């Protein structure tokens, strides 16, 4: 591994006109004759940042920012090597990953955020596809990293209209829908083994009470319908097939 050491003189503008000395250590980590890492240190020897050229094209595509910390506090990446940063990672002072922000479509704007627990386990993912500042898709995870709940803003109005709930094994159990945009679910779909529809419940008059029930066989055919036609809380019509 070849090293180049440069001493850079900078001015602390606004503070004093006394020169401050910083050091940049250039490293050729793959011995191809070209530097691919640049370690920047402050005048007192603290590591400020490390810049990387990970694919050897002569362009920076990753920056780890230390700001004097022993481990990186932030990391910035250009995943598709187009010269634009598209992933940003944030760490605690003891090196634990806290959050990841991504420009998943390489549009120049962040549209996906990942949040992690203190144990480094993925806790939540939020996406903002229309860049309005509100998540339009959110996924929540258990302490084992399994899906717990998913929420969707289907019409991009800033409110969720679809909710998916999973059991402790990550299997889909219930999907709820808000069909009239009043923020309350009025349809509930129940599943077996994540994919087999078992039952659907409806609140057809949006009073917060279920008034129609549909039951299905394993082939997704309706086999029984129960209806509360006058909304008094009692089933008064049953259809069987």
Interval 23-67: pLDDT, tens: 999 999 999 999 999 999 999 999 999 999 999 999 999 999 999
User: Do 126 and 143 contact (CB within 8 A), yes or no?
Assistant: no
What six digits make up the tokens of 232? 């008094």
Evaluate if residue 146 carries a pLDDT over 80.
Answer: yes
Note the pTM of the prediction, 2 decimals.
0.82
Q: Please, which pLDDT band fits residue 139 given cuts at 50, 70 and 90?
A: very high
Q: Please, which pLDDT band fits residue 16 given cuts at 50, 70 and 90?
A: very low
Least confident among 10-19, 60-69, 228-237: 10-19
Q: Please, which pLDDT band fits residue 241 given cuts at 50, 70 and 90?
A: confident
Q: What angle do CA 66, 71, 73 make, to 5 degrees?
A: 50
Stretch 175-182: mean pLDDT: 95
Evaluate if residue 105 carries a pLDDT over 70.
Answer: yes
Cβ neighbour number for residue 36 with a 10 Å cutoff: 19
pLDDT value, residue 19: 38
pLDDT value, residue 9: 38
Stretch 212-218: mean pLDDT: 97
User: Do 129 and 137 contact (CB within 8 A), yes or no?
Assistant: yes
DSSP 18-81: SEEEEEEEEEETT-SSS--EEEEE-TTS-EEEEEE-TTSSSS--EEEE-TT-SS-SEEEE-TT-
User: Do 41 and 49 contact (CB within 8 A), yes or no?
Assistant: no
């Amino acid at each position: 591994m070849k090293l180049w050491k440069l001493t850079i003189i900078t001015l602390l503008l606004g503070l004093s006109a006394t020169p401050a000395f910083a050091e940049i250590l250039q490293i050729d980590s793959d011995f191809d004759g070209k530097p691919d890492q640049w370690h920047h240190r402050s005048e007192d020897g603290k590591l400020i940042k490390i810049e990387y050229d990970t694919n050897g094209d002569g362009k920076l595509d990753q920056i780890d920012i230390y700001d004097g910390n022993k481990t990186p506090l932030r990391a910035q990446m250009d995943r598709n090597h187009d010269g634009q940063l598209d992933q940003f990672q944030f760490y605690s002072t003891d090196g634990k990953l806290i959050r990841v922000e991504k420009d998943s479509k390489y549009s120049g704007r962040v549209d996906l955020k990942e949040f992690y627990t203190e144990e480094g386990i993925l806790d939540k993912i939020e996406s903002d596809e229309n860049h309005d500042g509100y998540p339009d898709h959110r996924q929540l995870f258990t302490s084992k990293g399994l899906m717990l709940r998913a929420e969707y803003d289907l019409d991009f109005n800033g409110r969720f209209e679809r909710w998916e709930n999973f059991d402790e094994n990550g299997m889909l159990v219930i999907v709820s829908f808000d069909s009239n945009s009043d923020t309350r679910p009025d349809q509930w779909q129940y599943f077996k083994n994540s994919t087999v529809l078992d039952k659907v419940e409806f609140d057809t008059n949006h009073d917060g009470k279920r008034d129609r029930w549909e039951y299905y066989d394993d082939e997704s055919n309706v086999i029984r319908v129960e209806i509360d036609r006058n909304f008094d809380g009692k089933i008064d019509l049953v259809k069987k097939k």
